[in-house]
Structure 1
Amino acid sequence: MSLGGAAGFAFDLARFNAFAADTSGYKALVCVFLFGGMDGHDTIIPFDTGSYNQYANIRSALFDRYADMEGGSTRARDRLLPMNLTNAGDFSGRQFAMPPELAPLHELFDRGDCAVVSNVGPLVVPMTRTEFQNRSAPRPPRLFSHNDQQSVWMASQPEGAQFGWGGRLADMALAANANSDATFTAVSVSGNSVFLSGEIAGQIEVGSNGPAEIVGIGDDAFYGSSSLPGLFEAQLRAENETIANLIKRDYVNVVDQSIDANRLLRESFASATPFATAFPQSRLGRQLQIVAQIIALRNVLGVSRQVFFVSTGGYDTHSNQANSIPNLHTGLAEAMRAFYDATEEIGAQNDVTSFTASDFGRTLTVNRDGTDHGWGGHHFVVGGAVQGNRMLGRFPGPSVGHDLDTGNGRLIPTTSVDQYAATLGAWFGLNSSELQMALPGLSNFSDTNIGIFS
């Protein structure tokens, strides 16, 4: 376990004005980042006969690959899972479906605990195809680059950004005195992430197998000496040492608090009741299980607001997509469904919202057996507070050359990441002025709540 952040744990709340974020009860946001760029066109599929046939024709080469799969094509129309939208009237008779590998998420969708936000991605301002082609409106920096667009999604800036919007939401909650102990406000189970980096919130990293014992300071004898662990810990904490160097002092403070946080979490995990919910033992499944265990300990840890980051990869499907995407979908759906079931088990399903994000979407056209880097994509939001069984935003038709196509079915987003984040942040408890401070680009969009929650 490690602690980090822009300001370490020297939370300088005084630099923030008094905030009035609603921090009553408990709420948590869980970002599930899909590294590589998930193909939204292969995730939410046109289902009415006319749209499906048009889509299948554009993707005929990829459909041929699916047809060669053992057991037959999972993209055949009769094998898709129809999405019976409660807001079907918003789409003028068009229908949509999920592939069968997403069945666990489809079940949550049908129950009203999952919604889909269509064509969401980074935007500086709303943009049309003409404005894109003429460069008459500002574009997000370094479009279609993996590293940069991952950072733009998380932090509105390319690689090298300092602060992410997850960390900024955590900043606002801390400034409103949400947590008695700030340590476990921003938690990553997938390494250091700019998404969780705030100005006053430092992120804590936990391994996907939970908090590990710090070698040399545990209760067991170290190299046969029962006294050495205590001596080693005292050395790490620089006990009885006066430190004048500010950098060294900051480093020692982080180490000191890391030891305390790790010990508290290990002891809390050891005494916690195991989940009855069975999590898949994939990397993502294990990460979400750790998040669920930390949420179950929310009262022990003294938190009422938390932001989490987990991730999985493999979505850069330039080739062999018919073989890779189904497995990725299965892993994603099983892990997110198990996580939702675990929150239900501890009575927190209405207090926890998980959502997907990715580098970018992908092109509607295919390059034989894969797809190229895109822009806008479709994403899932899951939780008991979600007004589910709905598709939100504008879903472009299955064609190329329309007013949102920059080329090859690469979609200009119609919902910005700022709008997506603001809607999640409002549910988290932030008011409009706090959202504007956390998301500086939000002021460029008139609709700051896209209606994910009832």
Structure 2
Amino acid sequence: MIAFNSPRRQFLGQASCAAVSSIPVLNTLLNLSFAEKLAAVTAPTNSDYRAVVCLFLSGGNDSFNMLVPRETSAYAQYQATRSNLALAPGSLIDIHPTGQNTFAVHGGMPEIAALFEAGQAAFVANVGTLIEPVQNRTQVSAVTKQLPLGLYSHSDQIEQWQTSLPNQRSGIGWAGRTADLLQGLNANQKVPMNISLDGSNVWQTGHQNAEYAITTGGAVALENYDFGWQQYDTTTQAFSQSVDSHLAQQYSNILMQTFNTRKKAALDAYNAFTSATAASLPGSISFPGSYVGSRLQMIAKAIQGHAHAALGAVRQTFFVNLGGWDHHSGVLNLQGQMLPQISQAIGAFYNQLVAMNMQDKVTLYTASDFGRTLTSNGQGSDHAWGSNQFVVGGSVQGRKIYGSFPSLALNPDTGPEQNPLDTGSGRLIPTTSCDQFFAELALWLGVSPTDLPLVLPNIGNFYTPSASNPPLGFMM
């Protein structure tokens, strides 16, 4: 991780914008903007801890079977369009959005349904990558609107959901850009603001910061190294002393010294994180032993009060990636197995937050490559565009469906257009942009409205940052 060190931070605090703009290494407009803003960020009080958890469902979740309309005519349209992929009413769990028609969630998601009904979860309907608003399929077919690069491509759309830059290919994510602005708020700079349970990712990669990768067992150690004295383990003791002596060396070779500095920083981070997360979780909450369950349990250890206090953290993000959602076949059976794992893990995670009295300080959201075709390919569904996602947390304005849930009608091959959002086979044009979705979370984390375009460069195409109203309204 490349981070601003203390001298640079002091310099930025004293320098004028004109002076900062003359630094050669900060030679892009975006980096200059970040440098200028870092000097102006004010740390919140210690009690004002906030964290965002991204649960990425890579492969493209068929989310129109995760959230289903239940109003009579809308459900009949759903059945007609989805044909053999439609879920029967008896397999669904009805939810009752405030002031909206009745919807339902997949029958394997009772925990999400309960959180929604209790006001701690909300859905964002038909959200996707957009450069600018697109109203109908004619604009798509005639290319009279700018369209995201590589529509329907896994790699392109995963990248764009993590960068919120659908008009360019980039290795810098919006959580990384957020950390470039907010990392300095954390008193302890040994452990980065962005922590990943699934290794390197674009979402948490910034210009000046990157993710800190851990496992379900905690921080990753240097094999046979222990920062504490091991009285009865002479092998570990000897190896650790050897490493420490190397770390204490000063090298004239820049490459060797840089490597040594990075290794020392990694060990310092390991020591800090391991000490901070050593305590057991309160409340005797039972987490499922699933892939997501074990990761959310580790995240809970990192955010419990004494842990984030020990880390000096007031802002954090966490990343979890669960693959296997590319269901070109077997979608009903596979979702029947996978969605319950998601629901159970999130249910346990929220209960743990309540046990720690931190439910208002943590927000979890889902993301995926794209939605899938409403039509069946015979055995499953194919790559599409707009999708439904959900957010969970005590600061979520829950029991609502945000955005515009689309008509699920299909356009005929010939004749008048029935649904302007259907580009073919039920590939729906998003009615809400990723920028609007992410802006809610970025603002809640503490990014100022004036800084929002630094984190989400295209936000001005969908929302005016200086507006008195929020982008979508799902965060308190």
Is the contact made by 1:364 and 1:410 (CA closer than 8 Å) also made in structure 2? yes
Which string of whole-angstrom CA distances, capped at 9 and with x for unpartnered residues, describes residues 344-402 of structure 1? 11111001000000111111001112000011100010000101000000111121121
The partner residue of 1:353 within 330, 352, 363 is 363
Question: What's the counterpart of residue 80 of structure 1?
Answer: 92
Is the contact made by 2:192 and 2:209 (CA closer than 8 Å) also made in structure 1? no
1:256-271 aligned at under 5 Å gives the runs 256-271=264-279
Distance 1:319 1:225 in 2: 52
Structure 1 range deviating more: 161-170 or 21-30: 21-30
Runs of at least 4 residues off by over 6 Å: none
Shift of the alpha carbon at 1:255? 1.3
Question: What's the counterpart of residue 49 of structure 2?
Answer: 26
Instruction: Work out whether 1:190 is the aligned partner of 2:190.
Output: no
Is the contact made by 1:221 and 1:229 (CA closer than 8 Å) also made in structure 2? no
Distance 1:445 1:22 in 2: 29
Q: Tell me, what secondary structure is at the counterpart of 2:191?
A: helix
The partner residue of 1:368 within 378, 386, 399 is 378
Shift of the alpha carbon at 1:262? 1.0
Is the contact made by 1:189 and 1:310 (CA closer than 8 Å) also made in structure 2? yes
Distance 2:178 2:355 in 1: 27
Distance 1:137 1:118 in 2: 22
Is the contact made by 1:182 and 1:201 (CA closer than 8 Å) also made in structure 2? no
Shift of the alpha carbon at 1:220? 4.5
Is the contact made by 2:439 and 2:452 (CA closer than 8 Å) also made in structure 1? yes
Q: Tell me, what secondary structure is at the counterpart of 1:206?
A: strand
Is the contact made by 1:20 and 1:431 (CA closer than 8 Å) also made in structure 2? no
The partner residue of 2:251 within 242, 267, 270 is 242
1:50-449 aligned at under 5 Å gives the runs 50-63=73-86, 75-88=87-100, 94-129=101-136, 130-157=138-165, 161-175=170-184, 177-181=185-189, 183-218=191-226, 219-220=229-230, 224-225=234-235, 227-234=237-244, 237=247, 239-245=248-254, 247-273=255-281, 276-296=284-304, 297-401=307-411, 402-446=419-463, 449=471
Structure 1 range deviating more: 224-233 or 35-44: 224-233
Which string of whole-angstrom CA distances, capped at 9 and with x for unpartnered residues, describes residues 8-60 of structure 1? 57586532333346734110011010010011111101212222122112222
Distance 2:206 2:434 in 1: 18
Shift of the alpha carbon at 1:257? 1.1
Q: Tell me, what secondary structure is at the counterpart of 2:90?
A: helix
Q: TM-score, normalised by structure 1?
A: 0.89
Shift of the alpha carbon at 1:178? 4.2
Distance 1:222 1:8 in 2: 38
Distance 2:245 2:318 in 1: 32
CA 1:236–1:320: 2 relative to 1, 3 Å: farther
Shift of the alpha carbon at 1:211? 2.4
Shift of the alpha carbon at 1:327? 1.2
Distance 2:78 2:440 in 1: 31
Is the contact made by 2:213 and 2:219 (CA closer than 8 Å) also made in structure 1? no
Shift of the alpha carbon at 1:208? 2.1
Instruction: Work out whether 1:16 is the aligned partner of 2:28.
Output: no
Q: Tell me, what secondary structure is at the counterpart of 2:203?
A: helix
CA 1:19–1:398: 2 relative to 1, 3 Å: same
CA 1:451–1:36: 2 relative to 1, 3 Å: same
Q: Tell me, what secondary structure is at the counterpart of 1:260?
A: helix
Distance 1:22 1:240 in 2: 35
Is the contact made by 2:204 and 2:211 (CA closer than 8 Å) also made in structure 1? yes
Q: Tell me, what secondary structure is at the counterpart of 1:128?
A: coil
What is the one-letter code of the residue matched to 2:51? Answer: A
Structure 1 range deviating more: 203-212 or 316-325: 203-212
CA 1:178–1:213: 2 relative to 1, 3 Å: closer
Shift of the alpha carbon at 1:270? 2.7
Distance 1:408 1:57 in 2: 13
Distance 2:201 2:92 in 1: 35
Q: Tell me, what secondary structure is at the counterpart of 1:16?
A: helix
Question: What's the counterpart of residue 71 of structure 1?
Answer: none
Distance 1:232 1:96 in 2: 62
CA 1:410–1:21: 2 relative to 1, 3 Å: farther
Distance 2:50 2:354 in 1: 14
Is the contact made by 1:120 and 1:416 (CA closer than 8 Å) also made in structure 2? yes
What's the % identity of the aligned pairs?
32
Distance 2:442 2:71 in 1: 34
Question: What's the counterpart of residue 66 of structure 1?
Answer: none
Question: What's the counterpart of residue 19 of structure 2?
Answer: none
Q: Tell me, what secondary structure is at the counterpart of 1:117?
A: strand
Question: What's the counterpart of residue 414 of structure 2?
Answer: none
What is the one-letter code of the residue matched to 1:350? Answer: D
Q: Tell me, what secondary structure is at the counterpart of 1:267?
A: helix
CA 1:446–1:211: 2 relative to 1, 3 Å: closer
Is the contact made by 1:364 and 1:408 (CA closer than 8 Å) also made in structure 2? yes
Question: What's the counterpart of residue 91 of structure 1?
Answer: none
What is the one-letter code of the residue matched to 2:125? Answer: S
CA 1:226–1:361: 2 relative to 1, 3 Å: closer
Shift of the alpha carbon at 1:235? 5.4
Structure 2: tracts of 5 or more residues without a match: 13-34, 412-418, 466-470
Structure 1 range deviating more: 333-342 or 77-86: 77-86
What is the one-letter code of the residue matched to 2:72? Answer: T
Is the contact made by 1:34 and 1:312 (CA closer than 8 Å) also made in structure 2? yes
Is the contact made by 1:236 and 1:255 (CA closer than 8 Å) also made in structure 2? no
